[in-house]
Amino acid sequence: QQQVKQSPQSLIVQKGGISIINCAYENTAFDYFPWYQQFPGKGPALLIAIRPDVSEKKEGRFTISFNKSAKQFSLHIMDSQPGDSATYFCAALSSGTYKYIFGTGTRLKVLA
Amino acid sequence: DTEVTQTPKHLVMGMTNKKSLKCEQHMGHRAMYWYKQKAKKPPELMFVYSYEKLSINESVPSRFSPECPNSSLLNLHLHALQPEDSALYLCASSQDRSRTQNEKLFFGSGTQLSVL
């Protein structure tokens, strides 16, 4: 019940296309859902995050869609660029804890 | 300043060596974390310090010994490691989950550790 399932494992997108990564969770106590971007040899960097009281959050080319009833959330990268090529991790956290539960990661490659 | 600084960036050590990893942040964060990350895997939580006190130890072997000398510094002391301990060790910090609603977790760039 503590897992966050992430798909796909890898994704190849043409430059200018839309990249979509999906995550699903079981624990209804989770109330904070961040996405992290990680480049090789670097630590994960917070990209965007959402709480269950909103269904969508947009920051620049990055959008999180959240479906509370389905217990799913997804990251959409619009106008994908080669510089977006990285590994993306979704995560979930429940109030009062320090244990961020990470998804298994998606390796995105954007072709020039 | 939104940086978490880790040193060294790379470390090679033998199984009998003693070494330390260092982490520093100046964001006023009161929760600090150590994570271990194997290639192509998500970060795995090892330890959490909250207000300089050890709050979580995820059953980490005693050859890893954390230390939080003050609110800005976090160390990880390594002794008698095994080759399977080779990984990227990440430090992170957050404002503190128990006191505020700010859950943002900031990671350092990590120390790439190789145990020979």
The predicted pLDDT at position B96 comes to 76
Which residue has 């798909």 as its token pair? A7
Q: Tell me, yes or no, if B27 comes closer than 8 A to chain A by beta carbon.
A: no
d(CA B64, CA B74): 13
Please determine, for residue B107, whether its predicted confidence score (pLDDT) is greater than 70: yes
Nearest-by-Cβ selection for B42 from A97, A98, A105: A105
Distance (Å, whole) CA B64 – CA B92 = 17
List the domain range (segments joined by +) for residue B89.
Answer: 4-115
According to the model, what pLDDT value does residue A40 have?
Answer: 93
Total residue count of chain B as it appears in this document: 116
Q: What is the pLDDT of residue B92?
A: 96
Contacting A residues, span 5-34, partner chain B, CB-CB under 8 Å? 32, 34
Mean pLDDT of B58-65: 96
In a domain, A110, yes or no: no
| Cα of B49 to nearest chain A Cα, Å | 10
**Average pLDDT per 10 consecutive residues for chain A, totaling 112 residues:** 91 98 95 95 94 94 96 98 98 88 97 94
The mean predicted confidence, pLDDT, of chain B is 92
How much is the pLDDT for B102? 55
Contact A8, A16 (CB under 8 A): no
A62 touching chain B per CB within 8 A: no
Task: Determine, yes or no, domain membership for A20.
Answer: yes
Confidence band, pLDDT 50/70/90 cuts, at residue B103? confident
State the nearest Cα–Cα gap between B2 and chain A, in angstroms: 11
Q: Measured between CB atoms, which of B4, B42, B109 is closest to A103?
A: B42
Q: Is A23 within the bounds of a domain?
A: yes
Read off the CATH number of the domain in which A73 is found: 2.60.40.10
Instruction: Give me the pLDDT at residue B97, please.
Output: 60
| Residue B98, pLDDT score | 58
Where is average pLDDT lowest: A10-14, B25-29, B74-78? B25-29
Domain count, chain B: 1
The answer, yes or no, to whether the previous bond of B8 is cis (omega within 30 of 0) is yes
Write down the pLDDT at residue A45. 95
Find the mean pLDDT for residues B49-76. 95
- Contact yes or no for B104 and A96 at CB 8 A: no
Q: Residue A24 falls within a domain, yes or no?
A: yes
- Residue B95: the pLDDT is 86
Contact A95 B97 (CB under 8 A): yes
pLDDT at B12: 95
Burial annotation B65-94 (CB, 10 A radius, 16+ → b, else e):
ebebeebbebbbebeebeeebbbbbbbbbb
pLDDT at B116 over 60: yes
Domain range enclosing A64 = 4-105
Provide the CATH number for the domain around residue B75: 2.60.40.10
Domain count, chain A: 1
Burial label, A11 (beta-carbon count in 10 A; 0-12, 13-18, 19+): middle
Q: Is A34 within a domain?
A: yes
The C-alpha of A17 sits at a distance from chain B's nearest C-alpha, in angstroms, of 24
In angstroms, the CA A48 to CA A57 distance is 8
Residue A111 falls within a domain, yes or no?
A: no
* Residue A112 maps to a domain: no
Task: Compute the Cα dihedral for B3, A93, A99, B96 and give only its sign.
Answer: positive
Of B4, B97, B110, the CB nearest to A97: B97
- Pairing mode of beta strands A72-77, B87-94: unpaired
- Coil, strand or helix at B115: strand
Distance of CA B104 to the CA centre of its chain: 16
